[in-house]
Amino acid sequence: MSFRHQYVIGDLQGCYAAYQKLLETLKFDPTQDKLWFAGDLVARGEDSLSTLRHVKMLCEQGAAATVLGNHDLNLLAV
């Protein structure tokens, strides 16, 4: 599949509001673009759960892929 744009994002840290603002700024379109997440989806931010849910939805649509970071692995271990 060919994508219009591909973006790599690292260390979301659960900062859901900032993540949503970034997607707006990029004019991200899940039907045309792809996000690559370089780990640490959760941790210090205000809403790790919403961040995880949104990333999971995009991955299920084929609009995103992710690798686990140390914060993500720690969450799974707990």
Mapped to the 3 state alphabet, what secondary structure does 18-75 carry? HHHHHHHHHCCCCCCEEEEEECCCCCCCCCHHHHHHHHHHHHHHCCEEEECCHHHHHH
Q: Exactly one of 14, 28, 71, 72 is catalytic; name it.
A: 71
Question: Is 71 tagged catalytic?
Answer: yes
Active-site residue set: 71
